[in-house]
Amino acid sequence: MEEQLAELAAQVAAMEAKGNMTNTMFAEAYYYLTIPLMIIIHAGFLAYEMGASRAKNALSSGVKNILAFAFVIPAFYFFGWWVYWAFPTGFTLSEGPNGISGAGYAGSIALAWGESSAYMGPNTEDQIDGVFWGAFTLFAATTASIMSGAVIERIQTVGFVILAIILGGFSWTLAAAWGWHADGWMVTQWGLHDFGAAGLVHAVAAFFALGVLINLGPRIGKFNADGSANDLPGHNMPFTATGLMLIIVGFWGFLMACLVVGGEAWSWGANYTTIYGTPTNLGALAFNILMSVAGGIIGAWVMTRDPFWMMSGALAGIISCASGLDIYYPALAFIIAFSAGVLLKPAAGVLERMGIDDAVGAVTVHGTIGIYGVLLLGVFASGYPAGLGEGAATVSFMGQLVGSVVFVAIGLVTGYVSSLVLKMAGMLRVPEAAEIAGLDTVKVPAQAYPEGIPASAPAAQ
């Protein structure tokens, strides 16, 4: 009898081990697939910003996007990943209540030097860290792409790259450590909930961009002496609209990667959860992403009839619901997204009347609407558990307000200070003559349209 029980126990243990291995392999494949989906976001930003630029600046805008993607990856590898795991409880490097943060944990996860290098390179025992890192790296790269659209047609390439490294390697990562981590102090103390990163990715990047724009100044010809603004349209609206649609496609990967997929490497089992450990599933995303895209487009269409703002409305719709995509009912997601689409262009007009030249409306779409979404969750999800376990803080409007203030402050202060230093060093804005001639002419050894841009057909008489 004892031999039979021992044999049965061994069989059960073998089945459990096999199940854990299967779960881990699924989790690895899941995050691995989110990475190319998120790269589609960058294809979208590339098309969007080149189309939104005047023909003389199209390739220069593309070069910035390509470089931002390339430079943020090593910046996040060498520094950003460590910030995320080291500082959830503040700058003390102390361990949080869930024991997955602080100096000891971060030392074993990040900085690919010495003994810790095994965790940041090929490691057959625990490769899930690599694909999870890859997904986070694409979040970091997205922040730089958000900032890049706002500053097109007048920023220096090297200065922009430095700003992208600071934003992607530090600013948003600090916000994520504090508000997108089970040990984050804004989560454990204030009940902050930002599932889809409306605040800690979108708003941080947008307000970083605002800080840069204050020092960068408007494009030549944007404003008149009386303060009124002129329209400086891009040269290819179909390219811009297509790029925005590609960003929407890529956001399915972005939001997939906001889920934690259970496996042997994760302490809370084999189920889908949020980054905070609270339950959710892919069905919630399928309902709410589609409804928020539709709501944002319709709201912007009602207000503008303009395809640029309609596609921007699709993005604003997702961002306005992102904090609560795991919580909202689909009808509520549609209503919130519709309101975001309605608000979009008027909010951009307010910023323009303040003398800020945001070339693509990035501060409004990602910043204003991002904060709008974070705050609305405090209204509609008040009392919802913000973390796992008994005694976890709950969502409240005050907690969402605290998070919003912190996100705005991190983005605005780091963007303003870093760009001010670059401005003082003469590394922020291109010379006036180069801006007038076009950045492609003086900065890029190629032409976007070497045979010239065909003239539009004359209007029918």
DSSP-based three-state secondary structure for 166: helix
* pLDDT value at residue 14: 53
Tell me: the pLDDT tens digits for 193-230? Answer: 999 999 999 999 999 999 999 999 999 999 999 999 99
Distance from chain centroid for Cα 359: 19
Outline where DSSP puts E strands in 159-239. none
| Sequence-ordered list of residues with C-beta below 8 angstroms from that of 62, at least 6 positions apart, any chain | 46, 49, 50
Pairwise CA distance, residues 236 & 138, whole Å: 27
pTM of the full structure: 0.90
| Sequence-ordered list of residues with C-beta below 8 angstroms from that of 458, at least 6 positions apart, any chain | none
Pairwise CA distance, residues 252 & 119, whole Å: 28
Instruction: Sketch out the chain's domains with CATH numbers.
Output: 2-443 (1.10.3430.10)
DSSP-based three-state secondary structure for 398: helix
* pLDDT value at residue 7: 58
- Enumerate the β-bridge partners of residue 441: none
Burial of residue 66, with CB atoms counted within 10 A of its CB: 0-12 exposed, 13-18 middle, 19 or more buried:
exposed
Pairwise CA distance, residues 372 & 444, whole Å: 39
Pairwise CA distance, residues 235 & 282, whole Å: 39
* pLDDT value at residue 119: 53
* pLDDT value at residue 126: 53
Pairwise CA distance, residues 240 & 7, whole Å: 64
Helix-helix angle 2-52:128-150, to 10 degrees: 20
DSSP-based three-state secondary structure for 261: strand
Tokens representing 374 are 């974070």
What integer best gives the mean pLDDT of the chain?
Answer: 87
DSSP-based three-state secondary structure for 236: coil
- Enumerate the β-bridge partners of residue 260: 273
* pLDDT value at residue 261: 80
Length of the chain: 461
The conformation of residue 222, written as its DSSP 8-state character, comes to S
DSSP-based three-state secondary structure for 168: helix
| Alpha helix positions (H), 53-127 | 58-75, 81-86, 103-109
Compute the C-alpha angle 353/323/409, nearest 5°.
Answer: 50
Tell me: the pLDDT tens digits for 35-45? Answer: 999 999 999 99
Enumerate residue ranges in the chain where pLDDT < 70.
1-23, 93, 96, 98-129, 262-270, 453-461
| Sequence-ordered list of residues with C-beta below 8 angstroms from that of 312, at least 6 positions apart, any chain | 244, 300, 344, 361, 365
Quick check: 184 and 192 in contact, CB under 8 A? yes
* pLDDT value at residue 30: 87
Quick check: 127 and 30 in contact, CB under 8 A? no
| Alpha helix positions (H), 191-329 | 204-216, 237-256, 282-304, 307-322
Instruction: Say what the alpha-carbon torsion angle 234, 237, 242, 243 is, to the nearest 10 degrees.
Output: 10
DSSP-based three-state secondary structure for 180: coil
Tokens representing 292 are 């928020």
* First and final C-alpha spacing in the chain: 99
* pLDDT value at residue 213: 98
Distance from chain centroid for Cα 165: 14
The structure tokens 């899930």 sit at: 128
Pairwise CA distance, residues 197 & 257, whole Å: 11
* pLDDT value at residue 390: 75
Burial of residue 380, with CB atoms counted within 10 A of its CB: 0-12 exposed, 13-18 middle, 19 or more buried:
middle
Pairwise CA distance, residues 139 & 250, whole Å: 11
